Amino acid sequence: MSERFPLYTTNYIGGVMSLRKPQIASLKILEEIVTSVNLRKGMNLRAALGSVHAMYPTCSDFEREFMSITFVLATGVGKTRLMGAFIAYLYTQHNIKNFFVVAPNTTIYNKLKRDLSDNNNPKYVFRGLGCFPVLPQIIADDDYRDKAISLYDSEIHIFIYNIDKFNKEGANMRKVNELLGDSFYQYLSNLPDLVLIMDESHHYRAEKGAQALNDLHPLLGLELTATPLVTAGTKQVPFKNVVYEYPLSKAIEDGYTRTPFAVTRSDIDFYNFGDEQLDKMMLLDGIACHERTKGELEVYATNHSTPEKPVRTVKPFMLVVCKDTDHAAWVENFIKSDEFRNGAYRNKTITVHSRQKGAETEANTRLLLDVENPSNPVEIVIHVNMLKEGWDVNNLYTIVPLRTAASKILREQMVGRGLRLPYGERTGDRDVDAVMLTAHDKFQDILAEAQKGDSIFKAGNVIKAEDLDEPEEIAYTQLTFDDDKPEQELQRAYEQTGVAESKENNILLQTAKGYLQEKTEEYISASPDPVAPTQQDKQKIVQAVKEKIEKDQDFGIIFRNNENPFLVWLEEETEQVYKSIIEKYIPIPRIRVTDAGAEEYVFVDFDLNLSEFTHVPIKNELLIQNLEDMSYRRRIKGAAIDFEGYNPKKVILSELRKEPEIDYERCSTLLFKLITQACDHYKSTYGTNGMQNIVMMYRRDLANKIYTQMMKHFYCENGFLQEEVMDVRCNNFRQSLRFKQRVGLYDDFEGDIHSVLFEGIRKGVFTEAKFDSKEGELTLARVMDRDEDVLKWLRPAPNEFNITYNRGKRYEPDFVVETTDCCYLIEVKAEKDMADPDVIAKKNRGIQYCEVATRWCRANGYKPWKYLFIPSKQVMANSSFARLAEQFQEQ
């Protein structure tokens, strides 16, 4: 441990930098290797390789003239941030101060320079670290010519250069520099602690690039890539120095990227189509996906925005990959023709390829690099082959590969361009978290891939293009108003205004009333204290209604001819409308959450899935190198675990206890059960000796498999959360809802309930709603809408409540109900999900919210809150709300 930085363990660095699991795993592997090998220039590489190979058998050759190890991480996981973690660890724990970062091209070079040097950049890699008294000094371009490196303020130097700057004999870096007294290249090679970090390291395996790196004589090489393959003739040879691999399929499974979906058409023999016919079909299906996604992103932003925390709308684009430049020209002409969506994308399409020249290249490149900007008009990018590495965008949602190679690697590279998360993490919305690949002629290949464990596609992630042909509509929820006597309301309006009755005036008054409700609702939503409107509030609303009516070509003149009486009527009506809207809402207590303690992980009891445990014993002569210290004895008290001398169960337990989520005191019973299941599984097949052999040789993998299954059965709690109610928000959020069919709340319907909009709701805050299940949610809504005890009910918007669980996931309750004496927070769950860890975590946080809200509400004259957790099959058409509340109350 470093004397200067004892705090900077790998766990601490991982925590303050908010590293993801694969990044932390990589950092721990580096720690294990560096502490096991005596790093120094001129070290015995064969002995070092033996040590590394014993720990990580996939590393059989450093493949360079210095010790070099490769970390294979999927695109989008965060290789640049991992570089920052590597640098922080090596500096704080091993006093290494010189790092040389190599980039394969200008795009990645500029990105690395920005991410490693600009601390105002949101992607700055050293954010959160306090170990640098002066930020690391970045030396790039010709910096070494202008100032002696020894005069830089920071003791840590990070050199960032494109490989082309030094892999040629005549390169400026190899020329003698007066300030250095030698060439910059030679200066670097003489440094005793130079660590080489190679981004996209598959580019540095060619002879010239590899030799240029060898001649730097670094202390250590750290290689980062997503594709650890070298092309040799017609073959692709895997790297031999890999110590860790985190494939794209795993990144997708763990939620660090968006999920890829394959789009095709059913029951069509694509071999009957000509090339151009198939291209046109794929392009039209692709644009249907794009337009659908564009709508979903708009709906998501609307439904998740609050006045305090607005959510930006992501503008998606579609990438078309062509086989050559002539093909790209044909595609561009088709997309810009009237045949393609009536020319709607004529001015929203660019083509980018290497044969473009001059102003066209510059203009298109500028638009391409700025494609994430909502004001950028580009929605379709046509490209030949693949876009360069380093072009990292987070708004590519649809990929259309036309007549491209069918290899799995190329498909992964294409899809990899569209896997970055626009909001930094998965949202839980399938469409926002997806990327679409049209795969009409390659669909069978993808389905075959989906059956394999390492595929980026899953068999269920298939979208039929014909299902996209029926476009969804968008509806905005409207408040329920009791318009039982519209004629009486009109009569009262005529009496107040004194205008003559006529068909035109009827429509004008009704339209004005609609505008008044709309503008009052908008004003209340934006007001910090909307309960009691001031005279100024009412005047602002009336002015907004007036301006809207005056813009109307049909009613503007009629309104202006009778402006004074209309304005008097509007002002008087505003008071009543304002009051009726406030009464329609259910007041929601807003809480402030303060994290005052450490997270605790709670595991739900389960049995191991033993199908993953397929190891076999290895030869005994190899096993002898891995025997534990037989004199080591330890007795662990607790859940009847008692180890005397050597015991394989202890070996697995010691590995599991390294994981930060596992608190032995809290889950010893479960640990003992799972370890025993794994050991008994091997013992029954291979006997005691075979089981011991397997445990000793594969202990890390065994522990990891157990740990992975445990993490699927846990939820995170914080017993030290401090919550307080800040105030009560007196308005509820309107939502935008996508649908394919409208039905009444009590009507029958066909098809998927998720595409149905239910309307005609009487007691709901809003007249429209959507539901996730017919048995449970829809049935409960019908019960509530006719129950005498229910005053109002609400299907809350995603951001209606500030309740989080399991490391910041947002809890969205199913319903809120107000009765005469209480408000209820309600969760309806299928019986099979009642014991799910996520469901339990949500329930516990919901209960806690109701307890906090009730204390404040009772002290401030509001109704108390209660939490209901209802099994879906317990909700029946003849249920009463009072009975359900009595039976399933959790407090």
pLDDT at site 567? 79
CA distances from 306 to 302, 310, 734, 868 (A): 9, 5, 10, 26
By CB neighbour count within 10 A (0-12 exposed, 13-18 middle, 19+ buried), where does 551 fall?
A: exposed
Question: Given a cut of 60, is residue 139 above it in pLDDT?
Answer: yes
pLDDT at site 566? 77
Question: How does pLDDT run across 610-622, given as a tens digit for each residue?
Answer: 988 988 887 644 3
Question: How does pLDDT run across 365-385, given as a tens digit for each residue?
Answer: 667 777 888 888 999 999 886
Average pLDDT over residues 576-584: 86
Regarding beta strands 600-603 and 229-232, do their DSSP bridges make them parallel or antiparallel, or are they unpaired? unpaired
- Whether 867 and 824 have beta carbons less than 8 Å apart is answered as yes
DSSP code of 135? P
CA distances from 717 to 363, 667, 706, 890 (A): 52, 14, 21, 18
**Token representation of residue 632:** 């080591």
Indicate the range of 314-323, 493-502, 854-863 predicted with least confidence.
493-502
Q: How confident is the model at residue 637 (pLDDT cuts 50, 70, 90)?
A: very low
Question: Given a cut of 60, is residue 548 above it in pLDDT?
Answer: yes
DSSP string spanning 644-667? -S--HHHHHHHHHTTSTT--HHHH
Question: Given a cut of 90, is residue 304 above it in pLDDT?
Answer: no
The phi and psi torsions of 823 (rounded to 5 degrees) equal -115, 145
CA distances from 564 to 2, 157, 493, 552, 570 (A): 81, 75, 14, 18, 10
Question: Given a cut of 60, is residue 635 above it in pLDDT?
Answer: no
Question: How does pLDDT run across 400-449, given as a tens digit for each residue?
Answer: 988 765 566 666 777 777 888 998 888 888 889 999 888 766 666 666 66
> What is the model's pTM?
0.68
Strand partners, 160: 101, 140
pLDDT at site 408? 62
Q: Is 234 helix (H, G, I), strand (E, B) or coil?
A: coil
The most confident of the ranges 568-577, 692-701, 842-851 is 842-851
DSSP string spanning 74-121? -TTS-HHHHHHHHHHHHHHHH---EEEEEESSHHHHHHHHHHHH-TTS
Rounded distance, CA 352 to CA 385, Å?
A: 10
Residue written as token pair 């371009």: 141
Question: How does pLDDT run across 759-816, given as a tens digit for each residue?
Answer: 999 999 999 999 999 889 999 999 999 999 999 999 999 888 888 776 667 889 999 9
Question: How does pLDDT run across 708-733, given as a tens digit for each residue?
Answer: 888 777 766 655 556 777 788 888 88
Greater confidence, 188 or 268?
A: 188
Residue written as token pair 């929605």: 379
pLDDT at site 194? 95
Contacts by residues 855-858 (CB-CB < 8 Å, ≥ 24 positions apart): 855/725, 856/589, 856/724, 856/725, 857/589, 857/725, 857/728
DSSP string spanning 549-567? HHH-TTTHHHHHHTHHHHH
Q: Taking the mean position of all CA atoms in its chain, how far away is CA 283?
A: 27
Average pLDDT over residues 439-468: 66
Question: Given a cut of 80, is residue 656 above it in pLDDT?
Answer: yes
Average pLDDT over residues 167-191: 77
pLDDT at site 443? 62
Q: What percent of the chain has pLDDT over 70?
A: 82
Rounded distance, CA 808 to CA 848, Å?
A: 15
Question: Given a cut of 80, is residue 564 above it in pLDDT?
Answer: no
Q: Is 297 helix (H, G, I), strand (E, B) or coil?
A: helix
Average pLDDT over residues 7-11: 88
Q: Is 574 helix (H, G, I), strand (E, B) or coil?
A: helix
Strand partners, 23: none
The most confident of the ranges 48-62, 375-389, 584-598 is 48-62
Q: How confident is the model at residue 386 (pLDDT cuts 50, 70, 90)?
A: low
CA atoms within 13 A on the CB side of 448: 7
Cβ burial 735-754 (10 Å sphere, 16+ → b, else e): bbbbbeeeeebeeebeeeee
Q: Return the ∠ at Cα 769 (arms to 767 and 773), rounded to 5°.
A: 145
Greater confidence, 230 or 454?
A: 230
Q: How confident is the model at residue 464 (pLDDT cuts 50, 70, 90)?
A: low
Q: What percent of the chain has pLDDT over 90?
A: 31
DSSP string spanning 400-461? EE-S----HHHHHHHHHTT-S-TTSS--S-TTTTEEEEE-TTTHHHHHHHHTSTT-SS-TT-
- Whether 102 and 196 have beta carbons less than 8 Å apart is answered as yes
Smallest Cα–Cα separation from 144: which of 168, 117, 173, 166? 173
What mean pLDDT value characterizes the chain?
A: 82
Rounded distance, CA 421 to CA 427, Å?
A: 9
Check residue 217 and give left, alpha or beta (phi > 0: left; psi -120 to 50: alpha). left
Q: Taking the mean position of all CA atoms in its chain, how far away is CA 278?
A: 33
Average pLDDT over residues 843-857: 89
Q: How confident is the model at residue 164 (pLDDT cuts 50, 70, 90)?
A: confident
The most confident of the ranges 313-322, 577-586, 687-696 is 313-322
DSSP code of 274? -
Greater confidence, 129 or 49?
A: 49
Residue 464, amino acid: K
- Whether 25 and 42 have beta carbons less than 8 Å apart is answered as no
- Whether 129 and 8 have beta carbons less than 8 Å apart is answered as no
Residue 216 CB neighbour total at 10 angstroms:
21
**Token representation of residue 250:** 């795993």
pLDDT at site 641? 35
Distance linking the first and last C-alpha atoms of the chain: 49
The phi and psi torsions of 119 (rounded to 5 degrees) equal -75, 0
Strand partners, 165: none
